[in-house]
Amino acid sequence: MGAPAQRDPSTSSYYVGDAFYAALVRAFTDWDRDERAIADPARRDAVRAFLEREARLLDRGDYAAWLAMFAPECAYWVPGTPERGDPSREITVAFHDRRQLEDRVYRLGTGYAWSQAPASRTVRSVSNVELFATGDAGIVMVRSNFLIAELLDGELRHWAGWAGHRLETTGDGFSILAKQVNLIDCDRNLRNPSITL
Amino acid sequence: MTTQQKPILPERVFDFDSLVHEDRVHRSLYTDPAIFDLEMTRIFGAVWVYLAHESQVPQPNDFVRARLGRRPLIVVRDSNGVLRALYNRCTHRGATVCRRDRGSAKAFQCPYHGWTYLNTGKLSGVPWPEGYSCDFSRPEFNLMQVPRVESYRGLIFATLNADAPSLTDYLGPVRRPIDEWLDRHPGGALEVREANRLKFNGNWKLLYDNSADGYHVVFSHRSLLMMENRLQDGDGKGMSYYKDSPDSGPVKLYSFPNAHHFKDKRDAIPKRPGALWAIEGLHPGMEHYEAALRRDFPDRADAFLDLASSEPVNINVFPNLHILGNHIQVSEPLSVTETATTWYGTAVVDPDGELGAALGPVNALRMRTQEQFPTFGEVDDLANFEQIQAGLAAEEDAWIYMHRGLGLPERYSDGGDGTTIGPATDEVFMRDYMRVYRRLMQTEPAIAPTREI
């Protein structure tokens, strides 16, 4: 296996393997249950502020700051079915590791990504933020609903769904270990799904 | 004086000889709803149309919904194991009888009045039959179905046309690349594992025009090529072989009879195990699984990694099937200006266990390699198709050109069996398919759906 320098998740993908997929699927199974809900308003406020900042950064196209919200070894997962499935066994709308998230951002910045040239304007609303405890005191699962208004090629349209964030507590806030975006129309034919969700 | 009643709307007659020329076609082929309506019978009603893959209906009673043109269908393996394409339309009043996308069912009951059909299409019962004077055992009350449904090595096609040739004759020489594509998998077997599902606001032919187009690659996919090579010293990843002088390179275009075509990029890849993997774009898990396979299967890892890599072919079967990379891409016309295109991902099945413990890693890689192009490449093509549709609003600027290579016979060679071989960026395949299109649009097919079981 590679030396530490080769393990930089921005340039290689050693961390995405069977164990990573299995842990990810497990982490997003059966987690949003009442008995795990965290009622503490201060914690919820902190998470809500974190998600609202994420929405603002994406609306502004500040992708460098957005990427910095993710842990080095992270996952961005848009399942292709409402059952969500196992991404190691089936096609997703999108499944990115750290490097491919950076690919996504790089591509949008080339100026030659015709699906986003000119770039869509978006306004995101985040609501129904709920926190759920995990077995690890430093990790919280967050469920929120989203509605994205997108102006694409002069036409206003909407994306809707809910997101699951797996957040790790850090010294000064949170870091996204994994973000799962559940579009309500994930298993329908999508027109130009090129904005970052 | 005539007593003949005039039709409510005058029937429009199109002169396809004046709309389809050798070097160009008229914009109305892409914009006129009446031409679109005619295509639903004269194209989609006349030829073999791809519906589904057998792995989507593996067991008796399994079904998946599909469309033949705009006709809503239930593709079902009936209780006896026979593949059928039933119209998803209750014989009674016309409601769809099946509203789930896929599943398993021995019978379909119309939710509106409860008419029930076996999965053979046979009407098995209606509520309160004493209120009818007719004989419901007569076939006229069964679900309508497509009379000819056949599988070519797992690919299910159907045609409404009683006069259509056999499926194998219709496919003709395009069977060779299909066979080679299938045979690179152990046992020649694969299965569908979900899909990247897309649509665009444009005519379905824009997608077929693009299907063997080597001319657009370095322009339409410029951001993808830049992205794939951003961490490389050179530019060897992805479809970089289209750069520089593609027409004098190893990529070849095969234009077959019946409007099928094939862009063969395999000769752009060195003939050694691992060469396909070497140009594969960077994707999640790439280094992890490669290291594991090289550790566990030192002699076979390169071959396994090639199996996870995108096969460099575009095999296009008129009018709606595109086999490219490891995808089975299916296009569906929704209206004259709207088209769905679904990129079904495929997994290696390995019926004889040739891969052993490598099967899981190969498929885990293969899911990610297949998402790359729809996510970062196709979206840009579809945006360009939408902008073609927008540009075609210009009525006076009526022609679309497809004359690249025309008048330059030295660019072509005869591949036998009615096949023309041309260079990578040529438009000969468009001219050939539009000739077939014109003939089809001038012919009323013998559409013969059946209700006989």
Q: Look up the ipTM and state it.
A: 0.96
**Pairwise CA distance, residues A52 & B254, whole Å:** 53
- Residue numbers in A near B227 (CB within 8 A): 103, 106-107, 110
Kindly state whether A104 is in contact with chain B, defined as any CB-CB distance less than 8 angstroms.
Answer: yes
Kindly state whether B101 is in contact with chain A, defined as any CB-CB distance less than 8 angstroms.
Answer: yes
Distance of CA B19 to CAs B13, B15, B42, B441, Å? 12, 7, 16, 11
Kindly state whether A49 is in contact with chain B, defined as any CB-CB distance less than 8 angstroms.
Answer: no
- The tokens of B91 are what? 């014989």
Note the pLDDT tens digit of each residue in B208-220. Answer: 999 999 999 999 9
- Residue numbers in B near A91 (CB within 8 A): 193-196, 343-345, 367, 370-371
Kindly state whether B70 is in contact with chain A, defined as any CB-CB distance less than 8 angstroms.
Answer: no
| Confidence (pLDDT) at B236 | 80
Averaged pLDDT of chain A: 96
| Confidence (pLDDT) at B5 | 57
Per-residue pLDDT for A3 more than 80? no
Residue type, A55: A
| Confidence (pLDDT) at B244 | 81
Question: If contacts are CB pairs under 8 Å, which of residues 190-219 in chain B contact chain A?
Answer: 193-201
Inter-residue contact B370 to B310 (CB < 8 Å): yes
pTM metric for this prediction: 0.96
**Pairwise CA distance, residues B90 & A137, whole Å:** 56
In this structure, the strands spanning A190-191 and B190-200 are parallel
Per-residue pLDDT for B239 more than 80? no
Closest partner CB to B285 (pick from A17, A107, A115):
A17
Kindly state whether B425 is in contact with chain A, defined as any CB-CB distance less than 8 angstroms.
Answer: no
Peptide bond into A118 cis (omega under 30): yes
Per-residue pLDDT for B76 more than 60? yes
| Confidence (pLDDT) at B232 | 85
Question: If contacts are CB pairs under 8 Å, which of residues 122-181 in chain A contact chain B?
Answer: 153
Kindly state whether A114 is in contact with chain B, defined as any CB-CB distance less than 8 angstroms.
Answer: yes
**Pairwise CA distance, residues A138 & A168, whole Å:** 6
| Confidence (pLDDT) at B450 | 98
Instruction: Write the DSSP assignment of B349-411 as a string of letters.
Output: --TT-SSGGGHHHHHHHHHHHHHHHIIIIIHHHHHHHHHHHHHTT-SSS-EEE--TTTT-GGG
Kindly state whether A187 is in contact with chain B, defined as any CB-CB distance less than 8 angstroms.
Answer: yes
Distance of CA B20 to the CA centre of its chain: 23
- Residue numbers in B near A194 (CB within 8 A): 379, 383
Residue type, B67: R
**Residue B95 CB neighbours (<10 A):** 14
Percent of chain B at pLDDT > 70 equals 98
Minimum distance, in Å, between the CA of residue B378 and any CA atom of chain A = 9
Q: Tell me which of A86-90, B129-133, B225-229, B304-308 is least confident.
A: B225-229
| Confidence (pLDDT) at B240 | 77
Residue B447 is given by DSSP the state B
Backbone phi, psi, residue B126, to 5° = -130, 145
Helices and strands (H and E) in chain A: how many: 4, 7
**Pairwise CA distance, residues A97 & A178, whole Å:** 9
**What are the boundaries of each domain within chain A?**
4-183
Note the pLDDT tens digit of each residue in B262-309. Answer: 999 999 999 999 999 999 999 999 999 999 999 999 999 999 999 999
Proportion of chain A in helix, strand, coil states, percent, rounded to 5: 30, 35, 35
Peptide bond into B319 cis (omega under 30): yes
| Confidence (pLDDT) at B233 | 80
Inter-residue contact B22 to B297 (CB < 8 Å): no
**Pairwise CA distance, residues B62 & B54, whole Å:** 10
Inter-residue contact B304 to B362 (CB < 8 Å): yes
Inter-residue contact B146 to B159 (CB < 8 Å): yes
Chain-chain contact of A14 with B288 (C-beta, under 8 angstroms): yes
Minimum distance, in Å, between the CA of residue B234 and any CA atom of chain A = 16
Residue A31 is given by DSSP the state -
Chain-chain contact of A1 with B291 (C-beta, under 8 angstroms): yes
**Pairwise CA distance, residues B9 & B3, whole Å:** 17
Closest partner CB to B194 (pick from A81, A153, A188):
A81
**Pairwise CA distance, residues B195 & A90, whole Å:** 8
- Which residues, in sequence order, are CB contacts of B164 under 8 Å at separation 6+? B46, B47, B48, B148, B170, B445
User: Mutation test of the interface with chain B: which of A12, A100, A101, A110, choosing the one with the most B Cβ atoms within 10 A?
Assistant: A100
Average pLDDT over residues B416-432: 97
Per-residue pLDDT for B2 more than 70? no
Inter-residue contact A101 to A70 (CB < 8 Å): yes
| Confidence (pLDDT) at A6 | 57
Handedness of CA B381, B385, B390, B391 (dihedral sign): positive
Residue located via tokens 């992708």: A63
Averaged pLDDT of chain B: 96
- Domains (range + CATH), chain B: 49-152 (2.102.10.10), 172-439 (3.90.380.10)
- For A4-183, give the CATH class: alpha beta
- Residue numbers in A near B230 (CB within 8 A): 103, 106
Kindly state whether B103 is in contact with chain A, defined as any CB-CB distance less than 8 angstroms.
Answer: no
- The tokens of B113 are what? 């009045």
- Which residues, in sequence order, are CB contacts of A66 under 8 Å at separation 6+? A54, A57, A58, A105, A196
Note the pLDDT tens digit of each residue in B139-168. Answer: 999 999 999 999 999 999 999 999 999 999
- Residue numbers in A near B342 (CB within 8 A): 189
Confidence label for A2 from pLDDT (cuts 50, 70 and 90): very low
Kindly state whether A14 is in contact with chain B, defined as any CB-CB distance less than 8 angstroms.
Answer: yes
| Confidence (pLDDT) at A1 | 42
Minimum distance, in Å, between the CA of residue A35 and any CA atom of chain B = 33
| Confidence (pLDDT) at B33 | 97
